[in-house]
Amino acid sequence: MKKTLFDKIWDAHVVESIPDGPDILYIDQHLIHEVTSPQAFNELKEREIPVFRPNKIVATADHNTPTENQHLPVKDLLSRKQLKELSQNCEENNITLYGLGHPYNGIVHVMAPELGITQPGKTMVCGDSHTSTHGAFGAIAFGIGTSQVTQVFASQCLLVEKPKRLRVNVNGDLRKGVTPKDVILYVISKLGTNSGTGYFCEYAGDVFENMSMEGRMTVCNMSIEMGARGGLIAPDQTTYDYVEGREFAPKGEEFDKLKAYWETLKTDEGAEFDQEYSFDAEDIEPMITYGTNPGMGIKITGSIPVEGGKSDAKALSYMGFKPGESLIDKPINYIFIGSCTNSRIEDFRMAASYIKGKKKAENVNALIVPGSRQVAAQIQQEGLDKVFEEAGFKLRQPGCSACLAMNDDKIPEGEYCVSTSNRNFEGRQGQGSRTILASPLTAAATAVAGKITDFTKSLN
């Protein structure tokens, strides 16, 4: 039978199928962090159930951590307690933890790929909806709730219904200034925030084939923003080159053996999808959002749609925008470059290449937050930190930061923030904050201009 990439990986992980019910799906890699794990550990303790496979779990601290003075005790008492519980729980259960200050610490979806933990063909879960990021490697990766975290602790398995298959094809040449973030914002703007619900999405076409791993991660990261359980891209030479040589990647003969398996992970010609969409790369321009869900996106030079429902009116009133309005020249006082969507080395190279030789606008407060300690180190090695500093930006220490504003990195009420993160929900970046999602390039250009600008005109 002809199979999709998704089917091949899923079917290879089914321990048992329950008649008229879900599959027992084996999980190769479980990632955990401080926010969605404590209640799961408590539940196990109460029921006196041991962690079944501690060596298949890796923990990091990222969601509530400060991005300044990480060497000092965490000031916020509740955050400190949550981090302490994570350390204790990991220690008691023999789980590897890359805590605050560890050279491998970082946002869970940045650190696992860069350590070679993320590999093609794996099933991966984490109590975080952006776990879909790891699908960039041709893995089945998806976010789970805390009850499911408990299930994986107890059995290294999950009871899950097999999602349907969706394929999104984008072919052609991307225009100048159009980044992977723009591609996925464009796709979501076309399909809406729940078009993917119940599906696992494969991204196919030469646009994705030509993307770097960083770009593919940005795309797969936002699969959940169209409702999809996860997204994935078939592994290829770009994938193998990225994985090879990383700390926890297989080495030598073992690598070659696994690579031979990874090469089988492609959708068979003629395999069927339950739903399929195709887009033309040339139609994509730098994108920004104008509303309060990631599907409310327009081309940066476009205008806010005039026709909308009651919920759209609520969103526009929250954002302080009017139907038909263009966002060009809108003054912006905050920008955020970071989050599991856009905080990898390539994102900072992209931002630095635009910023180089320019100055930050005086009205702009910028939060520039690397995704991991390793990314931060590479930024220094490549001298990008100097570029940012000379332009008037200060780099923060790694963490989820202003993507969800659990720490002190908040956007004040009523202020707009052009943000490279993944969600523009009401209050997501702080109570009353107004988020405009965009690429690192758009955020950098906004920071220099102090307003939203059609920067593509100035690109060589």
Partner 1 sequence: MEKFTTLQDTAVPLEVENIDTDQIIPARFLKATDKAGFGENLFKDWRFDKDGKPVEDFSLNQDQYSGQILIAGNNFGCGSSREHAAWALKAYGFKVVVSSYFADIFKGNALNNGLLPVQVSPEFLEELFLAIRKDNKESFKIDLENQKIEILSSGKSENFAIDAYKKTCLINGFDDIDFLVSKLDAIKKFEEKQTQMREAAIQE
Residue 165, burial from CB neighbour count under 10 angstroms (0-12, 13-18, 19+)? buried
Q: Does residue 415 belong to the site contacting partner 1 (CB under 8 A)?
A: no
Minimum CB distance to partner 1 smaller for 125 or for 447: 125
- Least separation, in Å, of the C-beta of 96 and partner 1? 19
Minimum CB distance to partner 1 smaller for 156 or for 439: 156
Residues touching partner 1: how many (CB under 8 A)? 75
Query: Contacting partner 1 (CB under 8 A), which of 91, 101, 102, 261?
Result: 261
Minimum CB distance to partner 1 smaller for 222 or for 281: 222
Residues in 358-397 at the binding interface with partner 1, rule: CB under 8 A: none
Q: Does residue 21 belong to the site contacting partner 1 (CB under 8 A)?
A: yes
Give the range of 172-180, 238-246, 275-283, 420-428 binding partner 1 by CB under 8 A.
420-428
Query: Contacting partner 1 (CB under 8 A), which of 43, 209, 382, 415?
Result: 43
Give the range of 191-199, 210-218, 280-288, 338-346 binding partner 1 by CB under 8 A.
191-199
CA distance 346 to 215: 8
Q: Does residue 63 belong to the site contacting partner 1 (CB under 8 A)?
A: yes
- Least separation, in Å, of the C-beta of 101 and partner 1? 20
Query: Contacting partner 1 (CB under 8 A), which of 5, 31, 35, 449?
Result: 35
Give the range of 14-22, 168-176, 332-340, 384-392 binding partner 1 by CB under 8 A.
14-22
Query: Contacting partner 1 (CB under 8 A), which of 293, 333, 372, 419?
Result: 293
For residues 217 and 343, is the Cβ–Cβ distance under 8 A?
A: no
Query: Contacting partner 1 (CB under 8 A), which of 29, 67, 150, 289?
Result: 150
Q: Does residue 157 belong to the site contacting partner 1 (CB under 8 A)?
A: yes
Q: Does residue 258 belong to the site contacting partner 1 (CB under 8 A)?
A: yes
Q: Does residue 26 belong to the site contacting partner 1 (CB under 8 A)?
A: yes
CA distance 232 to 362: 41
Query: Contacting partner 1 (CB under 8 A), which of 116, 305, 323, 427?
Result: 427
* Amino acid making up residue 362: E
Query: Contacting partner 1 (CB under 8 A), which of 148, 221, 397, 421?
Result: 148
Q: What is the 3-class SS of the chain, one letter each residue?
A: CCCCHHHHHHHCCEEEECCCCCEEEECCEEEECCCCCHHHHHHHHHHCCCCCCHHHEEEECCCCCCCCCCCCCCCCHHHHHHHHHHHHHHHHCCCEEECCCCCCCECHHHHHHHCCCCCCCCEEEECCHHHHHHHHHCCEEEECCHHHHHHHHHHCEEEECCCEEEEEEEECCCCCCCCHHHHHHHHHHHHCCCCCCCEEEEEECHHHHCCCHHHHHHHHHHHHHHCCCEEECCCCHHHHHHHCCCCCCCCHHHHHHHHHHHCCCCCCCCCCCCEEEEEEHHHCCCEEECCCCCCCEEECCCECCCCCCHHHHHHHHHHCCCCCCECCCCECCEEEECCCCCCCHHHHHHHHHHHCCCCCCCCCEEEECCCEHHHHHHHHHCCHHHHHHHCCCCECCCCCHHHCCCCCCCCCCCCEEEECCCCCCCCCCCCCCEEEECCHHHHHHHHHHCECCCHHHHCC
User: What is the β-pairing status of strands 23-26 and 157-160?
Assistant: antiparallel
Give the range of 96-104, 145-153, 202-210, 361-369 binding partner 1 by CB under 8 A.
145-153
Annotated binding site for [4Fe-4S] cluster: 340, 400, 403
Residues in 194-223 at the binding interface with partner 1, rule: CB under 8 A: 194, 197-198
Give the range of 99-107, 175-183, 224-232, 360-368 binding partner 1 by CB under 8 A.
224-232
- Least separation, in Å, of the C-beta of 406 and partner 1? 5
Annotated binding site: 340, 400, 403
Minimum CB distance to partner 1 smaller for 127 or for 215: 127
Residues in 78-97 at the binding interface with partner 1, rule: CB under 8 A: 78-79, 81-82, 85
CA distance 406 to 223: 23
Q: Does residue 47 belong to the site contacting partner 1 (CB under 8 A)?
A: yes
Minimum CB distance to partner 1 smaller for 112 or for 404: 404
Query: Contacting partner 1 (CB under 8 A), which of 16, 241, 244, 389?
Result: 16
For residues 297 and 438, is the Cβ–Cβ distance under 8 A?
A: no
Residues in 114-143 at the binding interface with partner 1, rule: CB under 8 A: 121, 127-129, 131, 143
Q: Does residue 331 belong to the site contacting partner 1 (CB under 8 A)?
A: no
